[in-house]
Amino acid sequence: MFNKKHLVLLASAGSITLAGMSTAQADTLEDTMERGAVQCGVSDGLPGFSAPDDDGNWQGIDVDVCRAVAAAVLGDSEAVNYISLNAVERFTALQSGEVDVLSRNTTWTTTRDTTLGLNFTGVTFYDGQGFMVPSDLGITSVDELDGASICIQSGTTTELNLADYFRANDMEFNPIVFDTSEQTVGGYQAGRCDVLTSDTSQLAALRIQLSDPSTSMILSDVISKEPLGPVVRQGDDTWFNIVKWSLFAMLNAEELGINSDNVDEMLESENPNIARLLGQDGNYGEGMNLEADWAYNIISQVGNYGQSFDRNVGMGSPLEIERGINKLWTEGGLQYAPPIR
């Protein structure tokens, strides 16, 4: 087995040396216009986030970020080249210019944001470590898990988070460690443990794989912060702004009640916020060298944030993840976008 940790270090070291050079890199927007497609780095298959569907089209909440950028820049959400990357090579691919947007369920951390020559443009999904328990145990909160045996996948931060949380709360647990997610689910199903822990976005995908998903439930508590978001190279602020505001446009659209179905009616709306977002009052794309209808293109072709969430990971998808903290701020969640003004 190769040592992933060393490769990451090595790759990171390489990226740091390259980070200095990247400022000299050409204009990403211009290159994208010339190419006619956004170079987008996605995962090599993660349920609900990025995976090819039966017809070979990439689908997922991470994929929608790239489609939104393509809609804003080129007016066509299909003008994207998807390049699948594994966890180790994702930052190198961004640094070397192989991809221009990295939208691959990447957790926003200090190290990544400050030492790799990268910029996180926002949060598409507030993830966190959660727990899946059999429904008939009657457990409703993490605090009732004292003394439980817990199935974990090895080599992930999940293991550390779990130990930290239980120690901090003076509780005991018995870890049962597996190598792959399939084995973890198998162990849970065979009754090797009472509880299964992983990031909540993964738990939903694991739950579907049980022979009878209705016998298990996912607790609403989370014990860690995993904000996932798109990443761009440092040193090209125009591009950074485009990716950042593409996501904000989707969030603002949901907040203002605009979706892909009613966006054409909304063009006539009297609401000044809506008129500004859809380019009917002033050109707010100008500062990013985009056309005035940049946000209109995003909403009509990709939809608003809520639609994307629902279609890919929410109730409209097999994963059926609750909006939870990913609700808009107006509904008690964390998703908050600065106004278009």
Count the neighbouring beta carbons within 10 Å of the beta carbon of residue 127.
Answer: 23
**Site membership for another protein, residue 265 (CB under 8 A):** no
Q: Of 92 and 103, which has the nearer Cβ to another protein?
A: 92
**Site membership for another protein, residue 53 (CB under 8 A):** yes
DSSP 17: H
Query: Could you report how far apart the first and last alpha carbons of the chain are, in Å?
Result: 53
DSSP 97: T
Q: Find the binding residues for another protein in span 1-20 (CB under 8 A).
A: 2, 7, 10-11, 14-15, 17-18
Binding residue count for another protein, defined by CB under 8 A = 47
Find the binder of another protein among 75, 81, 107, 325 (CB under 8 A).
81
Q: Of 97 and 175, which has the nearer Cβ to another protein?
A: 97
Q: Of 122 and 306, which has the nearer Cβ to another protein?
A: 306
Count the neighbouring beta carbons within 10 Å of the beta carbon of residue 135.
Answer: 10
Pair 280, 267: CB distance under 8 Å: yes
Residue 329, amino acid: W
Find the binder of another protein among 28, 48, 142, 297 (CB under 8 A).
48
Three-state SS string over 73-87 comes to HHCCCCCEEEEECCC
Taking 3-state DSSP, the helix, strand and coil percentages for the chain, each rounded to the nearest 5, stand at: 45, 20, 40
**Site membership for another protein, residue 235 (CB under 8 A):** no
Pair 222, 132: CB distance under 8 Å: no
Tokens, residue 269: 């709306």
Find the binder of another protein among 28, 95, 129, 153 (CB under 8 A).
95
**Site membership for another protein, residue 334 (CB under 8 A):** no
**Site membership for another protein, residue 291 (CB under 8 A):** no
User: Which residues contact another protein (rule: CB under 8 A)?
Assistant: 2, 7, 10-11, 14-15, 17-18, 21-22, 25, 44-48, 51-56, 59, 81-86, 88-89, 92-93, 95-98, 182, 205, 208-209, 211, 312-313, 317-319
